[in-house]
A and B are shown apart, each in its own frame.
Chain A
């Protein structure tokens, strides 16, 4: 133990600081010293209870799954000697259950490949999809095909039995690497180290490939498949890496679109692989491919709704706190000056706020919008979270202040945070606001900056509350594209198949606000988007402006997505803007529509936010959603989205119009998206 204590604390890495703090875990690991190997055999005598130490790899929470008791016993012993916190499990299903129940209480999973109740690869897939934990596979079978399969399913390592203690001493690296990669992605530095990139590729092997290859990739792949006519499911073959890729079906965006539309056509319940295959009519695609994809798709849908449910609790909690504020708002108004006076808001921000508030058209009051519409609005949108947040802001002016007030107090964060959030905004962003106003020429600008800030705060909260989920969120960027436009099937909504406006403009300067395109689709909708890019650390505010077009009695919400590409491929943040518009409803107000802007890919301003992975893999994104591909992809996703919404409906419906509630719910969904993306790109 003395040896442990001696470990220098000099190199505390931020990577690790976010690591290991899990709600229920008794083990607190906050300090990392990556340079030390604390787990030495000399300290083996230390009982496992003493694992509670702040020296990094010590206390790493490992879940070992192996149906072979012998191996399990030996592994447990070895891991304990590494001073890890070990949980063993001899059934894959039980392990999965455990992982689900105690989300965030494990750092790494060691799993056997062959298990009677569930294939280790399946487990790996589930874990990858649901908790995004590093999974290390182990098997006596060290054949290339088996290892390749593991890698393809997303294993971060593959250990061949017999496993030696030396190998286990090192497994913490996967945890750190994962965290580190996430942070890297966030920082979006664009200069990934080789290691890093390698890992990333590993992680994302499935979708990167499909993404990069884009359409032609999938075509190629289909051709290959038709040539080789294998009836395998892509998993059984054991060829070398180069050839093993070929027969894989890459679920490109287009392919997925076809898939989703086929499923929609059939109805989710009635969709069977064979029928889907017929509808898709893609040469070379096998029933097995479709079946497996369908399974994943279903799983994903299920998961989405499940998570949403989980989150409801939280959101309701938030709501509780909100109400008093609402009163406050209705009584008087949110007093910006007061805030300013208290020094929480820098004068510039204040000015900006005013500008926005004033500039905004007076719109419907909340009551004017009927509930369903609102619900739909909240349901829609790629990024639920942001959207919902924005909803309150997007609300008609009159309410606007109230809304603001709602938001501020409710956020559980102390006021300091608020101020810090504000402070974090460079004055430039304010400039941006101004410029955007000019550009837009519309008064619709919502207080985006505000939104951002709020969102950030909430993200913070979420972060603190659910560290475990962070990893998922870090992929959100990738997801975003897939979320594109969501057509609603409900009568009031029209399907905008392709986003009203897809802006490919990117502004490479952080200050620039891009584009507002207004499209009017058949019935009075316009969607507006803004792509926004932030450079590296700098916060860029993207400003979304929604423009409302003529009021019609039908409410439309259209979202448009902007893909931003950065010239350098570095440090590009893609931001999505959803402009939600609710055309004024018949009742009181004419003309005015509230526009809801959502900026999902929010700029990460603050240090803590960096942990959130909003900016993911800047490099991939541009290439993936090249301008050309862009058009096609949105519609796909729309479809997918529709389904999601259907499923998620029950969860999300809030009888009353509490936007905050929705907003909160939205956040989790946002996170889900990451998986969505994973799903959508599943290649097998």
Chain B
């Protein structure tokens, strides 16, 4: 019964991943990331993604501040932030966030304030979507690990008795 649950959870995970891939939210870099997860660091993906969220939120806040606070926005600084966000997003395979960053940076290079604002909103939207979906994914993953653990435990119990 519990084993069935684990399988179903795994299927859920795969379905969710497939959806995200299909939507272009994630790309194969995310799979690379998953491959990096091994016995020596069993939670590698979620650890990295959490770092990413942490950093990205800082960057997004900065970007928003740069765009809104001053009339004359510091586009150069913005470009640097965007570059970093681009780098980290592409490193975890957040394809759509990265793409928006590219557009954002293009707008900032042209000192296109309106374009920047639009891009920022899109970016925040994409970011939230990614964050939600990844959280969902990790939750399923956690449950699956839990149920797998329980199944393992149950098997052991069965053997013992």
Binding site for B on A (CB under 8 A): 41, 44-45, 47, 67-71, 73-74, 77-78, 81, 112, 114, 116, 139-141, 161-165
Alpha-carbon distance between A116 and B35 when the two chains are bound, in angstroms: 31
Is A161 a contact of B87 with CB atoms below 8 Å? Answer: yes
B33 touches A74 (CB 8 A): yes
Determine whether the beta carbon of B36 is less than 8 Å from that of A78.
yes
A164 to B47, CA, bound (A): 18
Q: Which of A116, A162, A165 has the most CB of B within 10 A?
A: A162
- Chain B: CB-nearest residue to A164: B32
- What chain A residues lie within 8 Å of B90 (beta carbons)? 140, 161-162
22 contacts between A and B (CB under 8 A): A44-B38, A68-B87, A68-B91, A70-B51, A70-B52, A70-B88, A70-B91, A70-B92, A71-B87, A71-B91, A73-B47, A73-B51, A74-B91, A112-B87, A114-B84, A116-B80, A140-B86, A140-B90, A161-B87, A161-B90, A162-B29, A162-B90
Residues of chain A contacted by B47 (CB below 8 angstroms): 73
| Contact partners of A78 in chain B: CB under 8 A | 36
**B87-114 interface mask toward A, CB cutoff 8 Å, 1 = contact, 0 = none?**
1101111000010000000000000000
Chain B residues whose C-beta falls within 8 Å of the C-beta of A69 in the assembled complex: 51, 54-55
Instruction: Please measure, in the bound complex, the distance between the C-alpha atom of A141 and the C-alpha atom of B41, giving whole angstroms.
Output: 30
Chain A nearest Cβ from B21, distance in angstroms: 15
A47–B40 CB distance below 8 A: yes
Most B C-beta atoms less than 10 A away, residue of A41, A68, A114: A68
With both chains docked as a complex, state the minimum distance between the C-beta of B80 and any C-beta of chain A, in angstroms: 5
Q: Which residue of A lies closest to B92 (CB)?
A: A70
Report how far A69 CA is from B47 CA in the complex, Å: 11
Known: A45-B40, A73-B48, A163-B91. A68 touches B55 (CB 8 A): yes
Closest to A161 in B: B87
A140 to B104, CA, bound (A): 14
Where chain B touches its partner, the secondary structure class is: helix
- When distances are taken between beta carbons in the complex, the residues of chain A under 8 Å from B39 are 45
Contact B88 A71 (CB under 8 A): yes
Query: Which of B33, B39, B83, B98 counts the most A-chain CB atoms under 10 A from its CB?
Result: B83
Q: Is the CB of A41 within 8 A of B84?
A: no
B44 within 8 A of A: yes
Interface centre among A45, A67, A73 (most CB of B within 10 A): A73
Return the 7 tightest CB-CB contacts between A and B, nearest first: A140-B87, A70-B88, A140-B86, A162-B90, A70-B52, A161-B87, A162-B29
Cβ-closest chain B residue relative to A112? B87
Q: Quick one: which of A45, A69, A165 has the most chain B CB within 10 A?
A: A69
Name A81's closest neighbour in chain B (CB-CB): B36
Q: Does the CB pair A70–B48 fall under 8 Å?
A: yes
Q: Determine whether the beta carbon of A68 is less than 8 Å from that of B36.
A: no
State which of B52, B83, B88 has its C-beta within 8 Å of the C-beta of A141: B83
Nearest CB of A to B123, in Å = 15
A163 proximity list for chain B (CB < 8 A)? 91
Q: Tell me, in angstroms, the Cα distance from A646 to B40 when the chains sit together.
A: 56
A666 to B53, CA, bound (A): 54
Residues B36 and A161 in contact, CB atoms below 8 Å apart? no
Q: Mark B121-138, 1 if CB is under 8 A from A, else 0.
A: 000000000000000000
Residue interface mask B74-85, A partner, CB < 8 A = 1: 000000100110
Interface digits, B53-87 against A, CB 8 Å rule (1 contact, 0 not)? 01100000000000000000000000010011011
In the assembled complex, the Cα of A651 lies from the Cα of B93 at a distance in Å of 54
Given contacts A44-B38, A45-B39, contact A139 B87 (CB under 8 A): yes
Given known pairs A41-B35, A70-B55, A77-B41, the reply for A114 and B83 (CB within 8 Å) is: yes
Q: Interface extent on B, as a size class?
A: 20 to 34
**Which residue from chain A places its CB closest to the CB of B50 in the assembled complex?**
A70
B residues less than 8 Å from A116 (CB atoms): 80
- Residues from chain B with a CB closer than 8 A to the CB of A165 are 32, 35-36
| B residues less than 8 Å from A141 (CB atoms) | 83, 86
What residues of A have a CB within 8 angstroms of the CB of B41 in the complex?
Answer: 77
Smallest CB gap from B35: residue in A? A41
New contact pairs (16) apart from A44-B38, A162-B87, CB-CB < 8 Å: A41-B35, A67-B84, A68-B55, A68-B87, A68-B88, A69-B51, A69-B54, A71-B87, A73-B51, A140-B86, A140-B98, A141-B86, A161-B91, A162-B91, A162-B93, A165-B32
A140/B55 in contact, CB under 8 A: no
Nearest-CB distance from B114 to chain A (Å)?
Answer: 24
- Expressed in whole angstroms, the Cα–Cα distance for A112 and B80 within the complex equals 12
Instruction: Tell me how far the C-beta of A115 lies from the nearest C-beta in chain B, rounded to whole angstroms.
Output: 9
A164 and B92 CA atoms in complex are apart in Å by 11
- Chain B nearest Cβ from A16, distance in angstroms: 28
User: What's the nearest-Cβ distance from chain B to residue A155, in Å?
Assistant: 16
Complex-state Cα separation, A70 to B55, whole angstroms:
8
Cα A116 to Cα B83 with chains together (Å)? 12
Tell me, in angstroms, the Cα distance from A139 to B41 when the chains sit together: 26
- Chain A proximity of B107: nearest CB distance (Å): 16
Docked complex Cα distance between A510 and B146 (Å) = 77
Q: Which residues of B contact A112 (CB under 8 A)?
A: 87
Residue of A nearest to B44 (CB): A77
Considering the complex, give the chain A residue whose CB is closest to the CB of B77: A116
Q: From A163, which residue of chain B is reached at the shortest CB distance? A: B91
**A74–B51 CA distance with the chains assembled, in angstroms:** 10
Nearest chain A residue, comparing its CB with the CB of B49: A70
Q: Which of A47, A68, A70, A73 is the most central at the interface, judged by chain B CB atoms within 10 Å of its CB?
A: A70
Separation of A384 and B93 alpha carbons in the complex (Å): 54
Contacts of A71 in B (CB 8 A): 87-88, 91
Q: How far is the CA of A73 from the CA of B32 in the complex (A)?
A: 13
Chain A hits for B40, CB < 8 A: 44-45, 47
* List of A residues within 8 angstroms of B93 by Cβ: 162
Which chain B positions have C-beta within 8 A of A77? 36, 41, 44, 48
**Cα distance A498–B32 when bound, in Å?**
62
In the complex, the chain A residue whose C-beta lies closest to that of B38 is A44
Which single residue of chain B is at the shortest CB-CB distance from A146? B83
Which chain B residue has the least Cβ–Cβ distance from A116?
Answer: B80
- What are the residues of chain B within 8 A of A164 when measuring CB–CB? 29, 32
Q: Which residues of chain A come closer than 8 Å to B86, judged between CB atoms?
A: 140-141, 161
Tell me how far the C-beta of B27 lies from the nearest C-beta in chain A, rounded to whole angstroms: 9
Question: Whose C-beta in chain A lies nearest to the C-beta of B93?
Answer: A162
B38 CB contacts on chain A under 8 angstroms: 44-45
